[in-house]
Structure 1
């Protein structure tokens, strides 16, 4: 859930793709990599803002792949620069492919550019899921256009973030079944983690 100062606390808006998003990710990713140092194996641009041409909420999703989700080490490093650990249970553990995956999610400092920083195991199923989502939608124009139109219609009908998420979650599973078929057909594999 957004903190009260975050822009989506008042409702969801899905905007047309903004070509400045990749550059904004780059700036944020360098800042996060510097904060976490050697704990950050790879910093990935994930989520809808990572897919050229895809409408999205104006919030950059950043995935940091780590060897271990070490709460006691990561939270103080992020907090020292104003990043706030999201407290909800689903921001601490997510179930992907039947596996409970540890994670941490951080909100930006108050007044900073809207983003979510997802800390995940470098080879976890949830890490793979985020990257497969991105790469499939980058590769498949029909799926990308359909997904973008669906999200815009849902946001117009249900601007409350919780309602929006409740409708989007099962539809994402349908989308990802197509992504899995695409991965099998193309031989797509999880990109390896590498230190920046």
Structure 2
């Protein structure tokens, strides 16, 4: 039986090395700034936890502005320790401003972690309304309805002046064409609705 090949992830190894070195640099800087014993070991843990919390907030789709802000704060603290312990700073004579920054870091990290975890409440989930199923309603055939004689529209009244004008138009049409004017032509010449044109034609007959 063949033994499974052991895959070595170079990126993971690089991350472990970088994390270990950064952890050691933060510890050395905290110890040089007057944080002795277990307190010096707590500083790199605090910085790394803030980095992780900010990264999780970025990945979860929360407030991007707050997540990037605290991610950069933690990253600055980590890079600052790496640069400070690279020989550019005398760890035997740490300046006062750096001691102040180191001693004030726990409060800053606590504030950042609290805002990242509890600062952006999740929106309340609204219950999904179930869609009502369409009920098939049988179609009812339309039955013919007999309209009583009294309900049918009567012939519209025609003003005498309109009848006189229509007679003049009909005479001109007969003189020009030799035929009696039809309802469509009469309606078009007078510009009246069809029922009114029919009523006028009835009076001209």
The structure showing larger relative contact order (alpha-carbon pairs under 8 Å, at least 6 residues apart) is 1
Q: Given the two structures, how large is their TM-score scaled by the length of structure 1?
A: 0.28
Q: Name whichever structure is richer in strand by fraction.
A: 1
Q: Over alpha carbons, which structure has the higher Rg?
A: 2
Q: Name whichever structure is richer in helix by fraction.
A: 2
Q: Given the two structures, how large is their TM-score scaled by the length of structure 2?
A: 0.27
